[in-house]
Amino acid sequence: KSRSPGRARHINASRRACLVARFGFIYAQERFDAETLLRTYISDMEMVQRIIYTAAVESFYAAKMAYWKFKIHVKEALSLGHSGPESLEDAVLDYIVCHKDEYDVYASVKEVIRSMNINPKISFPPEIDFIVLSTLIQELCCLAFSMQTLIPPLDVAFGIDGELFNESKYYRSPDSDFTAAFVAYHVWPALVEDGVVIVKGEVVTKR
């Protein structure tokens, strides 16, 4: 069935608002829960925060990859019988929005944990595994996958240790040196839309 552009835009805007709010909730609550859990294994707070940040970034990357593959698969299937009135691209997007449960999030969680295991910047005591973060990773993957169905899609900003602190992109953690100009490490990624920051991330700045 055809949809009015106005209605489609309204639905996109309301979905976007819900997903952005969910990102904020994960940052405020589920990140904190993960931090508390990791502190039972790791005394170094910097390492705990690096691990959670890496989990967030890797979750978005894995979910985006899965989305692209899923979209190609759906497009191939729908193109065989598609006749309009909406464009094939719109039909594909509608299908994905309505069938998000077909996304194999567990495969993405495994991919994230595999990537974390080979990341040289983070380490875990040998007696436990990054799988303890699978609840947080699953939440982030599902959120990131849904964010790909928005127009335009949302993503997390790329961050590197030692980058110049940017006030429009990040908040400083309370334990930061507030006179330091450079990011020592990242606590949480910023959320961006078309390259513009819509939710600030969090970093630690140190001299």
**Alpha-carbon gap, residue 138 to 56, rounded angstroms:** 10
- Is residue 192 assigned to a domain? no
**Alpha-carbon gap, residue 139 to 27, rounded angstroms:** 11
The DSSP bridge pattern shows strands 170-172 and 201-205 to be: parallel
- Is residue 181 assigned to a domain? no
- Is residue 190 assigned to a domain? no
Sign, CA dihedral 149-67-51-163, equals negative
- The tens-digit pLDDT sequence of the chain (207 residues) is 445 554 556 678 899 999 999 999 999 999 999 999 999 999 999 999 999 999 999 999 999 999 999 888 777 776 777 666 676 677 777 776 767 777 899 999 999 999 999 999 998 888 778 999 999 999 999 999 999 989 899 999 989 999 999 999 999 999 999 999 999 999 999 999 999 999 999 999 998
- Tokens matching residue 67: 């989305």
- The residue written with tokens 């899923």 in the block is 70
- Is residue 32 assigned to a domain? yes
- Tokens matching residue 37: 């859990």
Global confidence as pTM? 0.88
- The residue written with tokens 């602190």 in the block is 165
The total number of structural domains that make up the chain: 1
- Is residue 180 assigned to a domain? no
- Is residue 51 assigned to a domain? yes
- Is residue 63 assigned to a domain? yes
Chain-centroid distance, C-alpha 38: 20
- Is residue 102 assigned to a domain? yes
The DSSP bridge pattern shows strands 170-172 and 196-199 to be: unpaired
Contact 129, 110 (CB under 8 A): no
What was the pLDDT predicted at 6? Answer: 47
What was the pLDDT predicted at 88? Answer: 64
**What does the longest C-alpha to C-alpha distance in the chain come to?**
61
Q: Which domain holds residue 82?
A: 5-153
155 Cβ contact list (under 8 Å, min separation 6): 60, 64, 144, 147, 191, 192, 193
User: What angle, 0 to 180 degrees and rounded to 10, lies between the N-to-C axes of helices 134-147 and 31-39?
Assistant: 160
Q: Where are the alpha helices (DSSP H) in the chain?
A: 5-25, 31-39, 45-79, 88-98, 105-117, 134-147
What was the pLDDT predicted at 125? Answer: 80
What was the pLDDT predicted at 85? Answer: 62
